[in-house]
Amino acid sequence: MKKIFIVLAIALVTVMSHSFSFAQSTAPSGWLIFDNVDFSIQYPGDWDSGDASQTGLIFSAFSKVKSNKDKFRENVNIVTEDLFGKNFDLDKYASVSEAQIEKMIEKGKLIESKRITLNGISFQKMIYTGKSSDIKMKFVAYFCVEKSRAIVLTLTCEESEFSDYSETGEQIISSFKLK
């Protein structure tokens, strides 16, 4: 019994170290990797990772402040929602999410909503705009429904800064991998 435990422990360490070195070698130069039990995601090394203490918030990364006039730090975050017993699939979750944009966000407007595949996972991708604290915002949200939960990855930008951050935000989101 003791030998089996030792062999399993060595095998686990070997697999974990291989996974870590593989992830490191595929990250763009200067990028960091956030890795937990369920997923991994990569983000620029000059972005700050945020506090994930809010309910459902799993990960957040914030851009640098451009100047003292910068009112908002563009960011990418990952939120999960427990759907156990709620009978939600991706189609239903997409429909409900689309309807909430105009109801929950001041001056919310859906620009695009389409199904895509990212790293072998079916996502709904939504692009929408709205206002928050008198700041015009633009959002790109990707969400999937896996194992009785929704996983939502969102790039949030000041609308006027969107073109400066959209490529980096999409690279961050595209690096997302479920385990």
Q: What is the mean pLDDT of residues 111-119?
A: 97
**How crowded is residue 36: how many other Cβ atoms within 10 Å of its Cβ?**
12
Q: How confident is the model at residue 26 (pLDDT cuts 50, 70, 90)?
A: low
151 found inside a domain: yes
Task: Extract the tokens encoding 130.
Answer: 């709205």
- Give the model's pLDDT for residue 21: 34
The CB-based long-range contact list for 113-121 (8 Å cut-off, 24+ gap) reads 115/90, 116/142, 118/142, 118/173, 118/174, 118/176, 119/174, 119/176, 119/177, 119/178, 121/146, 121/178
CATH number at residue 100: 3.40.1000.10
Q: How confident is the model at residue 129 (pLDDT cuts 50, 70, 90)?
A: very high
3 found inside a domain: no
Contacts with 137 (C-beta within 8 Å, 6 or more apart), sequence order: 72, 129, 130, 131, 156, 157, 158, 159
167 found inside a domain: yes
2 found inside a domain: no
Contacts with 75 (C-beta within 8 Å, 6 or more apart), sequence order: 50, 60, 61, 62, 63, 155, 156
DSSP 20-54: HHHHHHHSPTTEEEEE-SSEEEEEETTSEE----S
20 found inside a domain: no
Q: How confident is the model at residue 177 (pLDDT cuts 50, 70, 90)?
A: very high
Q: What is the mean pLDDT of residues 66-91?
A: 93
15 found inside a domain: no
In this model, does residue 112 exceed pLDDT 60?
yes
What is the number of structural domains in the chain?
Answer: 1
- Give the model's pLDDT for residue 7: 26
11 found inside a domain: no
14 found inside a domain: no
- Which of 121, 163, 112, 162 lies closest to 141, judged by CA? 112
Domain of 135, in residue numbers: 34-178
